[in-house]
Amino acid sequence: MARQDFWDDPESGRDVVKERSELNDIILSWKNLAAEIEDNALLFEMAVEEEDELSLLEVQRKLKELRKKYRDMELWQMLSDENDDKNAIVTINAGAGGTEAQDWTEMLLRMYLRWCERKNLKVEMIDLQEGEEAGVKNVTFTVSGSYAHGMMKAESGVHRLVRISPFDASGRRHTSFAAVLVFPEIDDRIEIEVKQSDLRVDTFRASGAGGQHVNKTSSAVRITHLPTGIVVQCQNEKSQHRNREIALKILKARLYEREKRAQQAKQQQTHDNLDDIAWGNQIRSYVMQPYQLVKDHRTNVEKGNVESVLDGELDDFIEAYLFSSMSLRENSAGNGGAAA
């Protein structure tokens, strides 16, 4: 930043200033935590020496608070992948099962909206296809805020619901599936080559909420990338130009993620499994009947209060996934070092 030509490229300069600010915040947070721990240790020594039970209770309360702060900071340390600090593009697709699966997709959408609200993350709807009778066939939205992709990536996979169906007059138990795909929102400066000749662009009339504008102009845009078969669409904006711009941005993000996965065989296998949104591929099960339990099959974390999870209490699952992922990377690095 001390270079005379530092601001010759304003955009790059702003990125460096932002990075410097983030690093300073991390350092300051650790220093403040260390100072609080030292102060609490001193208070503990004084309380023991003076046999002050009230002060000992205060030390205990403060210690619980410090542990929470430490875990939160340790969690941020886990978010060190290349795209963790980026915004997230989230797509939820209903599996086989018609209305049941579509209702489950809508329930997942609400769960993530509530979680984002708790985390002060901004959500913007890109595309939403409602079911014929109820629920949602598929939905795409962006999540913006600090390390949105780093946290949301823990949700990528097939989600399974077991419950007594409200759509079954016989009151039978049903199993439904929905797939959640999470991609990083790619910086416009990252070069993703998309040839116009590789694109088929279709326009159509938007459906759903939108007042008089809906169904009167062909503002919605669907882009098909012919070489890969990837299809993205956007109908949220009134302007066809704006919808095309957003759809192209999502396409670039998906192409970027596709290329990245191609270089990571293990990650590729995980995403390939999402093609079959059915039994055996789920990352998490939400059982409402005959008992109440949410279990993450990757980390074995369980919670008995299904309603609270569906209301957005996902932190335990996300944290466990991030910590387990870090452990796997560390073990892999250690084994590689030993082999070398």
pLDDT in tens, 40-69: 999 999 999 999 999 999 999 999 999 988
Supply the mean pLDDT for the chain: 85
CA 146/CA 149 separation, integer angstroms: 9
Least confident of 2-6, 62-66, 276-280: 276-280
Confidence of residue 317 (pLDDT cuts 50, 70, 90): very high
Prior bond of 166 cis (ω within 30°): no
Average pLDDT over residues 217-240: 88
Higher pLDDT pick, 180 / 133: 180
> Rounded to 5 degrees, what are φ and ψ at 69?
-60, -40
pTM assigned to the model: 0.68
Mean pLDDT across 246-265: 79
Q: CATH: 3.30.1490.20, 3.30.530.80, 3.30.70.1660, 1.20.1090.10. Which one for 88-189+265-339?
A: 3.30.70.1660
Mapped onto helix, strand or coil, the DSSP state of residue 247 is helix
How would residue 331 be classed by pLDDT, with cut points 50, 70 and 90? low
More confident residue, 304 or 193: 304
pLDDT band at 263 (very low <50, low <70, confident <90, very high): low
pLDDT band at 208 (very low <50, low <70, confident <90, very high): low
Distance in angstroms (rounded) separating the CA atoms of residues 125 and 112 = 12
Taking the CA atoms of the chain, what radius of gyration do you get in angstroms? 24
Q: Among candidates 160, 158, 110, 118, which has minimal Cα distance to 310?
A: 110
Closest CA to 252 of 186, 156, 202, 153: 186
272: burial class by Cβ within 10 Å (0-12, 13-18, 19+)? exposed
Greater pLDDT, 316 or 211: 316
Q: What is the CATH number of domain 196-262?
A: 3.30.160.20
**Residue with structure tokens 């932002």?**
18
C-alpha distances in Å from residue 116, one per residue of 72, 109, 146, 226, 306: 17, 11, 11, 34, 18
Per-domain residue ranges for the chain?
Answer: 6-78, 88-189+265-339, 196-262
- Among 167-171, 253-257, 259-263, the range scoring the smallest mean pLDDT is 259-263
Tell me how crowded residue 320 is: count the other CB atoms within 10 A of its CB.
16
pLDDT bracket for residue 296 (50, 70, 90): very high
Burial class (CB in 10 A: 0-12, 13-18, 19+), 11: exposed
DSSP secondary-structure letter at 207? -
Q: Output the furthest CA–CA distance in the chain (Å, rounded).
A: 80
Tokens of 6: 């530092």
The full DSSP string for 53-85 is HHHHHHHHHHHHHHHHHHHHHHHHHH--STTTT
pLDDT for 176-206, tens place per residue?
A: 999 999 999 876 555 677 888 899 999 888 7
